[in-house]
Structure 1
Amino acid sequence: MSPRRFGGGRLVIASHNQGKVREIGDLLAPFGADVVSAATLGLPEPDETGVTFVENAELKARAAAAASGLPSLADDSGLAVAALGGAPGIFSARWAGPNKDFLAAMARIEAELGEQADRSARFVCVLSLAWPDGHCESFEGTVAGEIVWPPRGDKGFGYDPIFRPVGGTLTFAEIEPAAKHAISHRADAFRQLVAACFSPG
């Protein structure tokens, strides 16, 4: 069965993370989507009870679509560190605590890695596009890299300052946003989403 396509108009970004909303809005600009965030609409954040990125993304997208009556796009993403068994993974945001203290979360990763030689990691992003009738399409993107310490750069958000992509010399927080958009896990998922569900505006 072919994927359902987005027909234009308002699209809810099911996130209260303004960095994430801005990044998704930039990527969607060419496709005729009038983007509005869940926070702007006053939609509550559902409990992320899934055990995978896909389950959490679909849960958030469906909740926002049902509450708003509009197509909704949700992202569930995080950092998976190989030597930590894939942690923090789906708990990436929760490691930062209620105050979103990513400096503390990054320090925790460094402390738990200790003297481990394997510092490989990957960012994972699942994008789920849901409609008010419950239909949902999901796409998973990844980018491989390694953990560096200390944190470097101030252009990104979340764990970007300690993640250096494979083949690169700069962290995600040191490169320009346009360059990050071209290679990121979100960009990978986005290419799949756009090819399946969007047409240029």
Structure 2
Amino acid sequence: METIIFATKNKGKIREINAILADMEVNVVSMEDAGIHIDVVEDGTTFEENAMKKAVEIMEASGKITLADDSGLEIDYLDKAPGVYSARFLGEDTPYPEKFKVIFEKMEGVPEEKRTARFVSCIAAAFPDGRKLLSYDTVEGRIAQEAKGENGFGYDPIFYVPEKGKHMAELSAEEKNAISHRGKALRKMKDLLKKELH
């Protein structure tokens, strides 16, 4: 069985990925599980640049196939901010409820039709032999007027998904995996990996 490292310390992401790749002969482990403690500086200006940089640096440190993702929230009214800076918006240690408060303040009085936003996910794979793969997907929605839901992480509580009539954080794990940006990008990556691993 092929071990693939996923360049994250986020246990929620590892669970999500293992669920989607469950029918492949791979074992996805986090950087920590692989004993790699590197902080990759995400200084790219696009999700693609950051994802590939992480994948390549961790692959070089581990010698194993490495997946990395960069994802974030683009709010059209805020010129697609926070975008690639989603995790670092207002500082990495700032609790998400505080981030929500600032976003709500910036969008006070903005009508529903102008509250459009999307979650973006880009996934990169780097192989020790130099092969590289990229997949990309989004989920469209709106910035809600209030935070709702206990599931998910990050900006999920303030992201309203019109097709479900719920906030992202109100969806079950199965519902979220079916429509989420990362779920869709991962399924694309899974198809690419299947071709490369045979």
Within the alignment, does 1:162 sit opposite 2:158 as a pair? yes
Contact 2:36–2:61 (CA<8 Å) still a contact in 1? no
2:19 is the counterpart of 1:19? no
**How far is 1:67 from its partner?**
0.5
Q: Could you give the per-residue CA deviations for residues 131-181 of structure 1, whole angstroms, max 9, x where no partner exists? A: 123321111110100011211011110000111123221111101001110
Alignment partner of 2:78 out of 84, 88, 93: 84
Q: Is the 8 A contact 2:36 2:62 kept in 1?
A: no
Q: Distance in 2 between matches of 1:16 and 1:134?
A: 24
Map of 1:103-114 to 2, 5 A cutoff? 103-114=97-108
Give the whole-Å Cα distance in 1 for the aligned partners of 2:90 and 2:12: 15
1:130 aligns with 2:126: yes
Q: Which residue of 2 aligns with 1:56?
A: 50
Query: Which residue of structure 2 lines up, in the alignment, with residue 198 of structure 1?
Result: 194
The one of the two structures with greater contact order (alpha-carbon pairs below 8 A, sep at least 6) is 1
| Structure 2: runs of 5 or more not aligned | none
- 1:30 paired residue among 23, 33, 36: 23
What is the SS of the residue equivalent to 2:48? helix
**Per-residue Cα deviation, 1:80-125 (whole angstroms, up to 9, x for no partner):** 0000000000000001633251111122211111222211100000
Where in structure 2 are the equivalents of 1:143-158 lying within 5 Å? Answer: 143-158=139-154
CA contact (8 A) 1:43 1:67 kept: no
Larger deviation: 56-65 or 88-97?
88-97
For residues 13 and 43 of structure 1, what CA distance do their matches in structure 2 show? 13
Q: CA RMSD in A?
A: 1.8
Q: Distance in 2 between matches of 1:96 and 1:126?
A: 22
Contact 1:152 1:174 in 2 (8 A): yes
One-letter code of the match for 2:20?
L
CA separation of 1:138/1:108 partners in 2, compared to 1, >3 Å: closer, same or farther? same
**Equivalent residue for 1:172?**
168
TM-score after normalising by structure 2? 0.92
